[in-house]
Amino acid sequence: MAGSADRIYADASTERLNTSATVVTFVRTVATLVLSLWGAYEGSLTLLVAGLVTYWVGDTLDGEIARWRDCETRIGGVIDMICDRLSCGAFYVGLAWLQPSPLFGDEPMELVAIPVGVYLFEFMVIDMFLSLAFLAWPIRSPNYFYVVDRRIYLWNWSRLGKAANSGLFAVLLLVTGWVWLALAIAIALLVLKCVSLKWLFDLGLPVPERTAAPA
């Protein structure tokens, strides 16, 4: 079993694309896309929710496999982030496509699309930049950002931070159907991410030293 420092810090010799964790990432992403697109085409909320659950379960599973099999890489971490946002986008665009539906009563599609749009901007733009920032330090993934800045880590990549960012908005929107509550949550998450972005810029992003190009 690798020591804690070995798990936290990246090792160029172990970086590769083909790992069991990335295989799970690709499989769960394809499955999520199929279910989400099928759900949008059929007008089925059940299929869309199945796609969302596949995304959440698969996202947990690939991370656990990466740690269990000791194949956690920076390449895999970036691919995981990209696939998360593709899966998330497919689900929410499909959800907005279903409107109006019994879930949201008589709310027009335009109103449902507003909180979805705010959330997607927060998750796919601001949070994506925050998540990719780990590459400026020699750590394997944002899961270890606490060695750089514990405050940013706790609000964004701790278990509670991840659950709030990826689950709270979807669960409350699906369970309550309250568009304005969903909008308030999306705005709150956007504010949190912007504050985290300020903390990151205050911290400063290190730039790797220039090296001579190989002859």
Residue numbers of the domain that contains 165: 4-203
Q: How many CB atoms lie within 10 A of CB 39?
A: 24
pTM of the model: 0.88
Q: Residue 62's domain is classified under what CATH number?
A: 1.20.120
The CA distance from 143 to 131, in Å, is 10
**SS3 assignment, position 139:** strand
Asked if residue 208 belongs to a domain, the reply is no
71-80, pLDDT tens digit by residue?
999 999 999 9
pLDDT grade for 6, boundaries at 50, 70 and 90 = confident
pLDDT at 98: 79
CA dihedral sign of residues 126, 131, 135, 138: positive
Give 142: exposed, middle or buried? Use CB within 10 Å, 0-12, 13-18, 19+: buried
pLDDT grade for 154, boundaries at 50, 70 and 90 = very high
DSSP code of 9?
B
pLDDT grade for 2, boundaries at 50, 70 and 90 = very low
Asked if residue 130 belongs to a domain, the reply is yes
As a dihedral over the C-alpha atoms of residue 170, residue 175, residue 179, residue 184, rounded to 10 degrees, the angle is: -60
Burial 51-83 (b: 16+ CB within 10 A, else e): bbebbbebbeebbebbeeeebbbbebbebbbeb
Asked if residue 156 belongs to a domain, the reply is yes
Structure-model confidence comparison of residues 192 and 43, the more confident one: 192
Domain count along the chain: 1
pLDDT exceeds 50 at position 192: yes
pLDDT grade for 99, boundaries at 50, 70 and 90 = low
pLDDT exceeds 70 at position 89: yes
CB 149 within 8 A of CB 204: no
The fraction of the chain above a pLDDT of 70, given in percent, is: 92
Task: Tell me the CA distances in angstroms from 49 to 55, 67, 119, one per residue in order.
Answer: 10, 27, 17
CB 105 within 8 A of CB 155: no
Mean pLDDT to the nearest integer, 57-83: 95
pLDDT exceeds 70 at position 109: no
The fraction of the chain above a pLDDT of 90, given in percent, is: 73
pLDDT grade for 48, boundaries at 50, 70 and 90 = very high
Asked if residue 163 belongs to a domain, the reply is yes
Asked if residue 86 belongs to a domain, the reply is yes
Residue 213 amino acid letter:
A
